Amino acid sequence: MPYLQPKGGWIELICGSMFSGKTEELIRRVRRAKIARQQVQVFKPKIDNRYAAAHVASHDGLQFEAENIEEARQILDRLRPDTTVVAIDEAQFLDWTVADVARLLADRGLRVIITGLDLDFRGEPFGPMPLLMAEAEMVDKLHAICVMCGAPASRTQRLINGQPANYSDPVIMVGASEVYEARCRDCHQVPGRPQSLGERVTSNE
Ligand code: TMP
Ligand code: MG
Ligand code: ZN
């Protein structure tokens, strides 16, 4: 990817539905950086321990060493003086401070690579991702393939006992293909979802 960044730091954001290859792409980028003998640190929120505790892991088994954090500010505490590339996987689970942390690192001249789900199972912006997307210099939105119709999938369907999960279900539920599948806008189902923003605002009152 031709990143024309002469000097200084920047933020690259990789988002998209589950199974779109976000972590795979993050691993690809950090491996390239390591080959160039750059000092890389990878972080991930502790909440997600699906495949490997001390690694970020893609759905088909690619792995890269990673440090677990509970809060975004721990990235600053753990940062080594010689690190020039910081990658953060699953940023949707972190607190909103992650945007300040990313900005601070980029301002200091570091390359920051962030991945996360732009949308939750309800099809709504996930945690700090909208903020990160706005702050980033580069945003890649990856797609999976809709399991229903084969179109590019931008959304993640949660299935509970084979049925679409309800809008009122909790947002955070760690899992993989046993609970989630990629779907396009047309095939994505969220029973109980308010029809419009207006309706959602009034129903929250
Ligand atoms: P992935 O993007 O690497 O596939 O991982 C996404 C993680 O987020 C996975 O553990 C499932 C979880 N998740 C939620 O907690 N809530 C949601 O609404 C969705 C879509 C995923
Ligand atoms: Mg992932
Ligand atoms: Zn579809």
Q: Report the atom number in ligand 1 closest to the C-alpha of 19.
A: 4
Protein residue whose Cα sits closest to atom 7 of ligand 1: 174
Total-model pTM = 0.92
- What is the domain range of residue 17? 10-142
Over the stretch 53-104, which tens digit does the pLDDT of each residue have?
Answer: 788 999 988 898 999 999 999 999 999 999 999 999 999 999 999 999 999 9
Residue 157 within any structural domain of the chain: no
* pLDDT tops 80 at residue 204: no
Catalytic residue at 65? no
Tell me which of 12, 90, 135, 181 is the catalytic residue. Answer: 90
pLDDT of residue 131: 97
Distance CA 53, CA 14 (A): 22
Label the pairing between strands 85-88 and 111-116. Answer: parallel
Does residue 185 lie in a domain region? no
Nearest C-alpha neighbor of 121 from the set 78, 77, 170: 170
Cα(93) to ligand 1 centroid in Å equals 9
Q: Does a structural domain hold residue 116?
A: yes
How high is the pLDDT of residue 5?
55
**Which of 13, 19, 26, 117 for mutating ligand 1's site (highest number of atoms within 8 Å of CB)?**
117
Listed in sequence order, the DSSP H helices in the chain are 22-35, 74-78, 97-107, 129-135, 197-204
pLDDT in tens, 9-38: 999 999 999 999 999 999 999 999 999 999
How many CB atoms within 10 Å of residue 10? 17
- Does residue 186 lie in a domain region? no
In a domain, 70, yes or no: yes
Mutate to test the pocket of ligand 1, among 173, 189, 193 (most ligand atoms within 8 A of CB): 173
Q: Is residue 147 part of a domain?
A: no
Is 131 a domain residue? yes
Encode 140-178: b = buried (16+ Cβ within 10 Å), e = exposed.
eebbbbbebeeeebbbbbbbeeeebbebebeeeeeeeee
In a domain, 182, yes or no: no
Domain harbouring 82, CATH code: 3.40.50.300
**Contact between residue 11 and residue 131 where contact means Cβ atoms under 8 Å apart:** no
Total number of domains in the chain = 1
